[in-house]
Each structure stands twice: as structure tokens, then as C-alpha cells.
Structure 1
Amino acid sequence: MKRVNPLKLNKLQLRTLVLTQIIARTQPDDAWDADGSVTILRLPHAHGDHLHVGEFVVNMADASGFNNRAVWTALARKGLVRDKDVPPIVLTRDGLEYDTGLDHHFLTKSDH
């Protein structure tokens, strides 16, 4: 059985990673590398107190890791992204496959 959060990421790192995984799924074919990593050139922009991540509307408080260098440094150190300096974000195959345990928060698509 696969363990949830085996690298013991903190809550902010987990939220940032799961949102990045969702964004990665919407990237065009040419953003994907042969090694299974994906390059994300832009992060979504805020609209007041929320932003759009793929098909979902996310509260800005849940996406605060996007602007936090320490989060990207930790994700890079653990091999989930290639570089701490973002954007662009290169989400590794390990980062794409990492079980954050937060996917259930993104089951309902936005009507917004």
C-alpha cells in the first residue's frame, strides 16, 4: 500500500504541490519531457480572493505557497521540482506522482 505524504511535506508544501499537479495536467504536449517531467511556464493570477487552477476555483490562502520561495526550495530539495527558482516550474515525475492526500479537495469543478 502506497503511503500518503512519505516525504513529510508540511501543509503549505502539500497544498502547493497538489495545485501544481493540477496545473500540470492542463499543459500542452510540448511542455512534457521524455523523462515524465512537465514544464509550467506561468502560474495562475489571482482574481480578488481566489484564483483558477485548472477547472477549480481556489481560495488565495490555499495558494499562498506559489509566492513563497521556501516552499519551492523544499520541493526542489526533495526532488519534486527541478529548481527552487520559479517560474518556470519543472515538476518532476516524482512530483507528478506524489500522493499528497489532498486530491479529494478538488472533486467539484467550478461553475464560476
Structure 2
Amino acid sequence: MKRNVIVSIMATGLALLPFASANAFETAQGVTATPITAVPFVITTSGNYYLPANITTALPTGSAITVEASEVTIDLNGRSLINTASTNQANGIFVLDQVDVTIQNGDIVGFGIGVYFSPNSADN
């Protein structure tokens, strides 16, 4: 009987595993992070952001993600930001005059420019 209870608990835990993976960045890093679930997405507050799943867009121009705040980390979380537009004049991630911005752990595909850093006047 005890063995059946343990097996049942383990099976329940494994069944819930896909739901836990959406917040894997928060749990693994031990910090609070904001999910980016759709684009275009504008970041105006310092902090941590992540992709809980691949994001596909058909953005002909502009930027999928625009960063308008300093001290930002974007963890692509092993995912991809993909553009399928027939023209590739869009930016994957556009960092507008900010400092201390980190982009890590993923792929940016099909954009004219994957990551575009606009220079900060303090860095000139």
C-alpha cells in the first residue's frame, strides 16, 4: 500500500512538470522575471524578462522587443524569437539608449538585425 502511494505521488508530480516549466527561469535563477509572451513588446522598467515559449511573428519593420530601460536582462530561456516576414527590415531586439542590458540563452532568427544597440550618449 505504501509503495502505491509513493508511486502515485511521483506520477502526479511528473504530470505537473509541464506546468512548472513555464516558470523555470524564475525558479532556476531565484529572481522574479516577467514573461514575454507576444510581440511587439516594450520594456520600460528595469528587471528580468524571459521567453516562456518560442515566439513567431511576421513583422516587416520596427522591433519585436524594444528596451527603453537600463539594467535589463532578457533571458530567451533556450527559446527562439523568429520573424517570418517576407522583408527582413525589422529588429529582433532594439535597445534604445540604455546601459547594462543583457540578452542571453537563445536564438533570434529572420530579422534584418538580430540585436540593435543604439548608442547611449554617456558612452560616446
State the TM-score bracket (shorter-chain normalisation).
under 0.3
Larger radius of gyration between Structure 1 and Structure 2: 2
**TM-score under structure 2 normalisation?**
0.21
Would you tell me which structure has more strand in proportion to its own residues? 2
Greater relative contact order, per chain length (Cα 8 Å cut-off, separation 6+): 1
Would you tell me which structure has more helix in proportion to its own residues? 1
**TM-score under structure 1 normalisation?**
0.22
